Amino acid sequence: MNFTKVASGIDIYPLRASLERQPELWDKNPCRLSKRGPHWQTQDIFLRYKDETENIESGDWRNFSDPHIPVWYKSIDFLPEAKPLIFQLMAGVKAEILGGVFIYKLEPGTEIIPHIDKGWHPNFFQKFNICINSNDRAAFCYEEDRMVQHPGDVHYFRNDVKHWVINEGDSPHVVMTVCVRIDQGERVPWSPDSFCERIKKDIVCQQHG
C-alpha cells in the first residue's frame, strides 16, 4: 500500500492555534520553493533538517540532501507545540532516529505537482504526515489511489513512487511531515569464536602483567 493510517484524533489544535497567531513564520527557510521544484506553490516552515548555513554562504546547494545529522531550525522555538506531536509519533511507531520535520500549507486552488522524492534523506527515513488542517477536497494522490486526511489524522506514506497533492477545497491544507528511521531488522553478527578467544587471552595477559 502507498499509505497507512496509524492514528487519528491527535490533539493538533494547540499547534494550529500557534500557527494562526504567527503567520510570519511561513517561508523563513524557502529552500524547497524554487519554481524548478514540485513544491513551489506551497508555503513552508522548516523545523528540522540539515544546517543550510554553508549552502547559503556558498550558493551551492548540491550537497543539501547528502547524509547529515539533522538539527533543529529556529522556528521550533516559536512552535514548541510541535515537539509533543513529533515525539508521540516516534514512540507510537517505535522510531529510533528523528530526521527532517517541516510543515507545509497549500492554499485553495494550489497543488504540489507529481514527483518522486530521491536522495539520501528520503531513502533513509520513513515519512509520516500529521494533518493540522484540511478539507474533503484536498488529497495526497497516487496514480491508483488517494489519501484524504482530517485534522488529527496521522498517516505513513510512500514517497518513492509518483505522488502529488491537490487542494480543490475552500480552506488551507496544512500538514506536518515527520521523517523517522524505524528498525529495519539489520543486525551486526556476533564476533567469530576465534576473535572472542583472542580478546579473552589478551585480557588475562594484561591482568597478570
Q: What is the mean pLDDT of each run of 10 residues along the chain (209 residues)?
A: 95 98 96 91 97 93 91 98 98 97 98 95 96 97 95 96 97 98 94 88 69
Domains of the chain and any CATH numbers: 3-207 (2.60.120.10)
The alpha carbon dihedral of 59, 63, 69, 73 has a sign of: positive
pLDDT of residue 96: 96
Distances (CA, A) of 154 to 14, 81, 173: 16, 16, 14
- Count other C-beta atoms under 10 Å from residue 38's C-beta: 18
Q: Cα separations (Å) of 145 from 92, 101, 139?
A: 25, 25, 10
Beta bridge partner(s), residue 141: 146, 164
* Cβ atoms of residues 100 and 179 within 8 Å: yes
| pTM of the predicted protein model | 0.91
- CA-CA distance, 59 to 32, in Å (whole number)? 15
Q: How many residues does the chain have?
A: 209
